[in-house]
Amino acid sequence: MHAHNTHVETLAGKIEELTSQSVMQCYQCGKCSAGCPVRNYMEDSPNQVIRYVQLGFDDEALHSSTPWLCASCLTCSSRCPQNFDIAKFMDAVREVALEMEIDVKEKDVKKFHEAFLNQIKKNGKAFEFGMVREYKLKTLNLFQDVELFPEMLLKGKLSLLPHKKKDIKHIKKVFDEIK
Amino acid sequence: MKVGYYPGCSLSGTGKEYDLSIRKVLEKLDVELAELNDWSCCGATSAHATNHFLSIGLSSLNLFQAQKQNLEELFAPCAACYNRMVVAKDELGKGTETAKKISALNNGESTAKVNIINIIQLFEKAGLENISAKTKMNLKGIKAACYYGCLLVRPFSITKFDDAEQPVAMEKIISAVGAEPVDWNYKVECCGGAHSIAHKEIVVDLSKKIIDDAVKHGANVIIVACPMCHSNLDMRQRAMKDTAAIPVLYLSEFVGLALGIDSKELGMNLHFTSTEPILEKVLVKE
Amino acid sequence: MRIGVFVCQCGENIGRTVDCPAVAEAAGRFPGVAYSVEYKYMCSDPGQNLIKNMIKEKNLDAIVVGSCSPHMHEKTFRKAALDAGVNPFLCEIANLREHCSWVHEDIVDATKKAIDLVRIAVEKVKKNTPLTPIRVPVTKRSLVIGGGISGIQAALDIANAGFECVLVEKEPSIGGHMSQLSETFPTLDCSQCILTPRMVEVYQHPKIKLLTYSEVENVEGFIGNFKVTIRKKARSIDESKCTGCGLCVQKCPIKKKAYNEFEENLAHRPAVYVPFPQAVPNIPVIDRTVCTYYQTGKCQMCVKVCGREAIFFEQQDEMITEEVGSIVVATGYKLYSIDKKPEESEIKGYGEYGYGKYKDVIDGLQFERIASASGPTSGEILRPSDNKVPKKIVFIQCVGSRDESKGFSYCSKICCMYTAKHAMLYKHKVHDGEAYVFYMDIRAGGKGYDEFVRRAIEEDHVKYIRGRVSRIYEEDGKYIVRGEDTIAGKPITIDADLVVLATAMIAQPNAVKLAQTIGMSYDKYGFYNEAHPKLRPVEVSTAGVFLAGACQSPKDIPESVAMASAAASKSLVLFGSDFLEREPTVAKVNESVCAGCFYCQKVCAYNAIEKKEIKDRKGNLVKVIAYVNSGLCQGFGTCNAVCPSKSVELIGFNDEQIYAEINAL
């Protein structure tokens, strides 16, 4: 592990800028990890990821699968004795990883988010069928849940055409801003 | 009473019956819904998980639209939409850098006065006594596990709704229509949320624990207030091994049943797990 | 007038930014200055001798010292002046350090300012008059508030020195929290065995007046001369008749209506009760909120069985006035409860631990009662819900402490130690039991403390897990405790039979009220502030009031006892002389011009303004005017500033003196 020194360039600095909270607020009690519903699927516990950032082990944090497995349930943030918003921290780690084009471990999660956001970008609304189609093509998980599709179609729960927002220009503006 | 309505994307797809039942029930309760004009997606998990600006930016568009329509209250039935909009409103209010950027994109529009409410708050506004008085059916044999999940109650500092750990607001509605809420442990545990597609196994695992705990505590129905939770608990039951089948109802469906609305009109035939066992327990009042 | 000016360099502190020789030189030319000099350390012995010698040699009758803040060395220089025969109030300080050298960088400007400051002081001292300290008599009695181990120790020390002491306790018995404890760390000796002899000693001491079931309502006066009003709450028992036989307690038919506070609500008590068998005094109290007589007028079982006619239903609260010279505040602490708190409260309670709804999730004091031989289980470790022996027990530290979000950011200091003790006691009693402790840090600073914790881990095999617990819920009679071991980096779930929370030590609920009654400052948590964190740790800013024990901050028994003895010795210092000397720089009313508007009374923070009636020779009331109680006056001068008729003079800082200072600029 290699630790960084200058604050601005570090992950800690970037996260502080994005979340308006310092990672040094965390005193490593582990309550976040203790209550995390997805903890058993993670290699690094949430508090370990924070520790990486505290110590400047940025690569470890950016390549950890933990932020991508985080379900954003906010249990950690709501119970943190130091009022550190861990979920917001995880959001920021992902954001920086994407910005730095890190080859993240949890590719499916990343592709899911991309597919989801692409639909919003195009239609202004989430379009489940289009999203799933794009996700499947991206991940080649072609047969996942196919058994559910006929029933969903029959029940009218899966529309084959998107519901579109009429005026899409504001949506475009927001997306343009993050290019 | 007239309330702004933001159905959100799921309610025209997987959460169709949520929309159907809301409209039916509110009609009975004399609540008029004014749908937000040409609304857009709140950004959901995918936006905030990858880009903070995007998440606040997308939700804000709806807040500004509500402002334009002079809506005092905006009802967001989906817990995720509710949460994202409450958070966006909070951030706009704080005037952060993100908020300033968003304001610049929207002709200087910067504040959102509109009060965002979830379905429980809407029923509270409609009045529990009112609901109780209009209850036509006898739900005595029904033991309901009220499931809040994550996004209705967290983060408490922003939602300020009920209690982050031991909420009881939904139970009060269940009691008001004559059913019996059960005391159980998993009412604020996470179902896995948006991992439903990329990590189905996590969702199945987490949702199974929730269902098992509800059953263990004697529930014969689980009540939810979120289309994501509903699809994870209802649709994913098929993938669960050794789990008793239990109907998962939207709060609006349940209240609808109590008010004597036909289950099909409420969309209860659209569930993946049969709702028959609970319909059998809905009796006509003597 | 022949004035001497002494400019101090304070080593480099002043000398670096102020040209001291130039200041001395300029001062020498001021009218009235007969001599001026600069020196490296004026406060040193040679520096003081320089002042003394020059006063004599140059025949000086007033001096100005340009040095550090008068807070630091005014006393030193005044003493030097006095030794050389000059009235100490003819010594003025020009603050060349805090007001000048420390806050400026440019030497030229700083020197200019220093010269100005010295000139101001010179002009002031010209208007000064010799003053003599005020002498106030000392009442050589003490009031101790709180009858826990701190209050007991303070009272005994004062009384054993031969001075009278009034000990006030709000509960029916003295003993405090220490009487509830089972064993004490790190020696594991029995708490009651070491405490009860002291309680008896208090009761039997001829110099101690014990007022239990009593509370301080009002405090007037000042150091050496306090007048205290105490409410002695009605016990509904005539103390002079009661022998403490306990028949009324035995026969009271109300058995289950009230929780036993001493047993931390783990048991019930009758309507008429003695808190615990060794209570001092051993006189019962009737709890009027549950007693049938007070609800319906019927029952009177206690009256029937009492052979001494000691039951006194109509007894009223009694107001007692005591005059004392010092006050020792030893009101102790309370434990944080995890219950849901009102929304406006800054603290929140712990919903993730069930807000207190689980019977077998208890706090540290409850465990003390369970482990205590005199407790509800006679010392057998049984859990409250079903009286079964818990085979797996989990202790959680830092509940409410070090938790900004739900409780308080401070460390409660004693929990690490008592948790180790609890775990050890448990292992000694339940040999096949497993004990787990969730901790964040182990804070075991103290003689034999860390060794004690190591003993729990190494000899008694208590498993310490570094991490906070996120959630507790009940499942099939077990309590599922979800934590994380942050050292192993592994989640840990324990199905415990009993969970003990080491909840924060917090200030007493009425701490702030008492602080306002006495005039003490307190921190944001309600703990009383000491006058100086290093050098005056048992004093408060109000003279004559001293602190002992956990009312100042969380602390353990030996620390509380040490502090109590320190507070007692501070009282004894006061009682060492018959009179107290106080600064004469107090306000004085010009009686001939005072119009009696009493604006001064409204603004005085020390209640020092009284009303005085002026009568003519025949005894007819002419007018009512303000009068300054010089014992209470702190010389703040707000009265002086607000007086519309300019009838108040602040001695030593009168208008003439202040104008002289301003005109010097």
Within a domain: A52:
yes
Residue A90 shares a structural domain with residue A16: yes
Q: What is C3-132's CATH topology?
A: Rossmann fold (3.40.50)
Taking an 8 Å cut-off on Cβ atoms, the answer to whether B14 and A152 are in contact is yes
What residues in C contact A48, CB-CB < 8 Å?
Answer: 489
User: What does the alpha-carbon distance between residue B125 and residue B144 come to, in Å, rounded to a whole number?
Assistant: 22
Residue A85 shares a structural domain with residue A40: yes
Residue A37 preceded by cis peptide, ω within 30: no
What residues in B contact C340, CB-CB < 8 Å?
Answer: 163, 166
Q: What is the pLDDT of residue A8?
A: 61
Taking an 8 Å cut-off on Cβ atoms, the answer to whether C491 and A45 are in contact is yes
In this predicted structure, the answer to whether residue A2 has a pLDDT above a threshold of 80 is no
With H, G, I as helix, E, B as strand and everything else as coil, classify residue A36: coil
Q: In 10 A of CB C294, how many CB atoms?
A: 15
Q: What is the pLDDT of residue B233?
A: 97
Q: What is the pLDDT of residue C194?
A: 96
The mean of the pLDDT values for chain B is 95
User: What does the alpha-carbon distance between residue A153 and residue A30 come to, in Å, rounded to a whole number?
Assistant: 45
Taking an 8 Å cut-off on Cβ atoms, the answer to whether C474 and B185 are in contact is yes
User: What does the alpha-carbon distance between residue C482 and residue C468 come to, in Å, rounded to a whole number?
Assistant: 9
Is 2.40.50.140 the CATH number for B2-117? Answer: no
Single residue among A71, A99, A127 that ends a domain in this structure: A99
Q: In 10 A of CB A29, how many CB atoms?
A: 27
- The vertex-C316 CA angle with C311 and C318, nearest 5°, equals 120
Distance from the Cα of C228 to chain A's closest Cα (Å) equals 43
User: What does the alpha-carbon distance between residue B14 and residue C471 come to, in Å, rounded to a whole number?
Assistant: 32
> Cα-atom radius of gyration of chain B, to the nearest Å?
19
Residue A92 shares a structural domain with residue A149: no
Q: Does A108 touch chain B (CB under 8 A)?
A: yes
- Say which residue the tokens 């501070």 belong to: C570
When pLDDT is cut at 50, 70 and 90, the band that residue A1 belongs to is low
Chains A, B: CB pairs < 8 Å: 161
Taking an 8 Å cut-off on Cβ atoms, the answer to whether B165 and C355 are in contact is yes
Q: Does A5 touch chain C (CB under 8 A)?
A: no
Please report the beta strands in chain A, taking only residues with DSSP state E, as ranges in sequence order.
none
Side chain identity, residue A14: K
What residues in C contact B190, CB-CB < 8 Å?
Answer: none
Within a domain: A2:
no
The highest-level CATH class for domain C141-233+317-332+508-575 is alpha beta
Residue A168 shares a structural domain with residue A131: yes
Q: What is C587-663's CATH topology?
A: Alpha-Beta Plaits (3.30.70)
Domain ranges of chain B: 2-117, 135-284
Q: Does A84 touch chain B (CB under 8 A)?
A: no
When pLDDT is cut at 50, 70 and 90, the band that residue A146 belongs to is confident
- Say which residue the tokens 């996260």 belong to: A15
Identify residues of B whose CB sits under 8 angstroms from chain C CBs.
163-166, 185, 216
Side chain identity, residue B58: L
| CATH of C335-506 given 3.50.50.60, 3.40.50.1000, 3.65.10.10, 3.20.20.70 | 3.50.50.60
Mean pLDDT, chain C cut into blocks of 10 residues (665 residues total): 96 96 97 96 97 97 96 95 96 97 96 97 96 93 98 98 98 98 96 97 98 97 94 97 96 95 97 96 97 95 95 97 98 97 91 97 98 96 98 98 96 98 98 98 97 98 98 97 97 98 97 95 97 95 95 98 98 96 92 93 88 92 92 88 94 94 94
Per the CB < 8 A criterion, the answer to whether B264 and B272 are in contact is no
With H, G, I as helix, E, B as strand and everything else as coil, classify residue B15: coil
Q: What is the pLDDT of residue C336?
A: 97
- The vertex-C643 CA angle with C638 and C648, nearest 5°, equals 80
Residue A67 shares a structural domain with residue A117: no
- Using CB atoms, pick whichever of A91, A106, A173 lies closest to residue B48: A91
Q: What is the pLDDT of residue C167?
A: 98
Taking an 8 Å cut-off on Cβ atoms, the answer to whether C491 and A34 are in contact is yes
Tokens of B276: 């028959």
Within a domain: A160:
yes
How does C166-200 read in b/e, with b if 16+ C-beta sit within 10 Å?
A: bbbbbbbbbbbbbbbbbbbbbeeebbbeebbebbe
Q: Length of chain A in residues, anyone?
A: 179
Distance from the Cα of A31 to chain B's closest Cα (Å) equals 15
- Say which residue the tokens 């006066």 belong to: C221
Within a domain: A49:
yes
Taking an 8 Å cut-off on Cβ atoms, the answer to whether A125 and B40 are in contact is yes
Taking an 8 Å cut-off on Cβ atoms, the answer to whether A165 and B206 are in contact is no
Longest CA–CA separation in chain B, Å: 61
Instruction: State which residue of chain B sits closest to A129, comparing Cα positions.
Output: B13
Per the CB < 8 A criterion, the answer to whether A91 and B49 are in contact is yes
Find, among C10, C15, C30, C29, the residue nearest to C124 by Cα. C30
Selected residue of C394, C470, C493 to mutate for chain A interface (largest A Cβ count, 10 A)? C470
When pLDDT is cut at 50, 70 and 90, the band that residue B20 belongs to is very high
Give the B window 250-269 contacts with A, CB below 8 Å.
269
More confident residue, C136 or A42: A42
Per the CB < 8 A criterion, the answer to whether B179 and B199 are in contact is no
Q: What is the pLDDT of residue B108?
A: 86
What residues in B contact C350, CB-CB < 8 Å?
Answer: 165
In this predicted structure, the answer to whether residue A150 has a pLDDT above a threshold of 90 is no
How would you class C116 by CB atoms within 10 Å of its CB: exposed for 0-12, middle for 13-18, buried for 19 or more?
middle
**What separation, in Å, do the N-terminal and C-terminal C-alpha atoms of chain B show?**
31
SS3 labels along C85-135: CCCHHHEEEEECCCCCHHHCCCHHHHHHHHHHHHHHHHHHHHHCCCCCCEE
Q: What is the CATH number of domain B135-284?
A: 3.40.50.11810
Selected residue of C411, C486, C493, C503 to mutate for chain A interface (largest A Cβ count, 10 A)? C486
User: What does the alpha-carbon distance between residue C35 and residue C60 come to, in Å, rounded to a whole number?
Assistant: 8
User: What does the alpha-carbon distance between residue C403 and residue C506 come to, in Å, rounded to a whole number?
Assistant: 13
Distance from the Cα of C483 to chain B's closest Cα (Å) equals 15
Q: What is the pLDDT of residue A51?
A: 98
- Say which residue the tokens 């010092």 belong to: C326
In this predicted structure, the answer to whether residue A49 has a pLDDT above a threshold of 70 is yes
Residue A85 shares a structural domain with residue A63: yes
What residues in A contact C398, CB-CB < 8 Å?
Answer: 29, 81
Mean pLDDT of B121-142: 96
Please provide residue C56's backbone torsions phi and psi, each rounded to the nearest 5 degrees.
-70, -50
When divided into structural domains, chain A yields a total of 2
Same fold? C141-233+317-332+508-575, C335-506: yes
User: What does the alpha-carbon distance between residue C159 and residue C141 come to, in Å, rounded to a whole number?
Assistant: 9
SS3 labels along chain B: CEEEECCCHHHHCCCHHHHHHHHHHHHHCCCEEEECCCCCCCCHHHHHHHCHHHHHHHHHHHHHHHHHCCCCEEECCCHHHHHHHHHHHHHHHHCCHHHHHHHHHCCCCCCCCCEEECHHHHHHHHCHHHHHHHCCEECCCCEEEECCCCCCCCCHHHHCCCCCCCCCHHHHHHHHCCCEECCCCCCCCCCCHHHHCCCHHHHHHHHHHHHHHHHHCCCCEEEECCHHHHHHHHHHHHHCCCCCCCCEEEHHHHHHHHCCCCCCCCCHHHCCCCCHHHHCCCEECC
- Using CB atoms, pick whichever of A95, A120, A165 lies closest to residue B43: A120
* Parallel/antiparallel/unpaired status of strands C91-95 and C164-168: unpaired
Selected residue of B166, B213, B215 to mutate for chain C interface (largest C Cβ count, 10 A)? B166
pLDDT tens, position by position, B148-189: 999 999 999 999 999 999 999 999 999 999 999 999 999 999
Side chain identity, residue B47: A
Please provide residue B162's backbone torsions phi and psi, each rounded to the nearest 5 degrees.
50, -115
Per the CB < 8 A criterion, the answer to whether B201 and B212 are in contact is no
Selected residue of C405, C469, C471 to mutate for chain B interface (largest B Cβ count, 10 A)? C471
Q: Does A28 touch chain C (CB under 8 A)?
A: yes
Give the A window 82-101 contacts with C, CB below 8 Å.
82-83
Instruction: State which residue of chain B sits closest to C474, comparing Cα positions.
Output: B185
Selected residue of B156, B168, B185, B189 to mutate for chain C interface (largest C Cβ count, 10 A)? B185
Q: Does A153 touch chain B (CB under 8 A)?
A: no
Give the C window 336-365 contacts with A, CB below 8 Å.
352
Mean pLDDT of A20-45: 97
In this predicted structure, the answer to whether residue A5 has a pLDDT above a threshold of 80 is no
Distance from the Cα of A125 to chain B's closest Cα (Å) equals 5
Taking an 8 Å cut-off on Cβ atoms, the answer to whether C355 and B166 are in contact is yes
- Say which residue the tokens 């106030």 belong to: C136
Side chain identity, residue C376: P
How would you class C12 by CB atoms within 10 Å of its CB: exposed for 0-12, middle for 13-18, buried for 19 or more?
exposed
Instruction: State which residue of chain C sits closest to A35, comparing Cα positions.
Output: C470
Tokens of B59: 């939700």
Distance from the Cα of B194 to chain C's closest Cα (Å) equals 23
What residues in A contact B46, CB-CB < 8 Å?
Answer: 112-113, 116-117
pLDDT tens, position by position, B191-213: 998 898 899 999 999 999 999 99
Residue C281 preceded by cis peptide, ω within 30: yes
Q: What is the pLDDT of residue A129?
A: 85
Domain ranges of chain C: 3-132, 141-233+317-332+508-575, 247-305, 335-506, 587-663
Instruction: State which residue of chain B sits closest to A90, comparing Cα positions.
Output: B49
**Any alpha helices (H) in C519-607, and if so which ranges?**
557-575, 599-603
User: What does the alpha-carbon distance between residue B266 and residue C132 come to, in Å, rounded to a whole number?
Assistant: 93
Instruction: State which residue of chain A sits closest to B237, comparing Cα positions.
Output: A148
- The vertex-C221 CA angle with C217 and C227, nearest 5°, equals 50
Give the C-alpha distances (Å, rounded to integers) separating C56 from C2, C60, C126.
11, 7, 19
- Domain of residue A78 covers 11-99
Q: What is the pLDDT of residue C583?
A: 87
